[in-house]
Chain A
Amino acid sequence: MPKLTIQDLAKMRDDARKHIALREGGEHRARITVHMGTCGIAAGARDIMKTVLEEVEKAGVGDILVTTSGCGGLCSHEPMATVELADETPVKYIDLTPEKTRKIFGEHLLAGKPIMEFALAIGSERRG
């Protein structure tokens, strides 16, 4: 295949945008953001993401949005994730392991009770 040019990419983007509307329907009750900066990745953030996705599959739910973000500026506490329930203050969890993640998924995302002993503080970093 010939190399893609920037123009090809722009065209791909435009074609793709036509399909975006298709999947933006549907409300989410909760959102979990796994921090995926260089620091997070080096500390195991991809395994945390993997665990979250496995838990979504196990629970068979469709109303939790799973996203990634960049470095939140607290590299020494990675892997980190932020959990937000609709109309509630976001909770940032630090020093995650797959085990802690499974607990957070069950107790906070599914049952609505934050696990304060795993949390850094209440709030969220600036977006955008």
Chain B
Amino acid sequence: MNDLSLHILDVAENSVTAGATVLEIRVVEDPVADRLIIEITDDGKGMDEATLQAARDPFMTTKKKIKQVGLGLPFLAESAQISGGDLQIESILGAGTRITATMGYHHIDRRPLGDLRATITTLVIGNPKVEFRFSHVVENREYIFTTWEFKEKLNHTSLSSAAGIRALKESLAQGEAGLR
């Protein structure tokens, strides 16, 4: 994973696979406090104590039958740790999971944020039955995007239609532009 927006996409897709119906993605850029925080909260099926303990282990996976290994969280943990931060996983079985990655904003090894808009666009269009709340804080400015407000504006237009895609891209571009 070359940038943080790809980590966000990966972890959020995990949430969807875990049965999440609503997801919050929060990105806080605080250069003054030298902190960058990524927080992903879902209402998926959650993890029990043993799964939670093992979630950082690169050779752990929930897909026992296929014998694949899950690398998503170990990758993110590594990205956080090399930049003077850490990864925190809180989970309640049957209720949801929150992943919090903290990083040193100015740390030389901190990966760039990358294309956040492409990540949000992919998540929102690719998972039409899941609701997303995206909040991006840069210093004292905050941009909030929610799929429920956006879909209300779209009315009956399909999300993955030409008009839906254009509207989503415009909405995110405008919101993000207000942060810089």
Contacts and interface: CB of A to CB of B under 8 A. Distances in A.
Nearest to A31: B160
Interface stretch (B80-88, B101-109, B148-156, B171-179): B148-156
B151 A62 contact: no
B148 A15 contact: yes
Contacts, number: 130
B126 A50 contact: no
A1 B127 CA distance: 26
Q: In this complex, which of B9, B125, B160 has the most chain A Cβ atoms within 10 angstroms of its Cβ?
A: B160
Interface residues of B, number: 54
Contact of A36 (B9, B96, B161): B9
A61 B163 CA distance: 8
B158 to A, nearest CB: 5
Interface residues of A, number: 44
B159 interface: yes
A68 B121 contact: no
Given A12-B131, A23-B151, A46-B6, A41 B13 contact: yes
A12 B43 CA distance: 10
Interface of B: 1, 6, 9-10, 13, 16-17, 21-22, 24, 41-43, 66, 68, 70-72, 75, 92, 95-96, 115, 118-119, 121-123, 125-129, 131, 133, 135, 142, 147-148, 151-152, 154-166
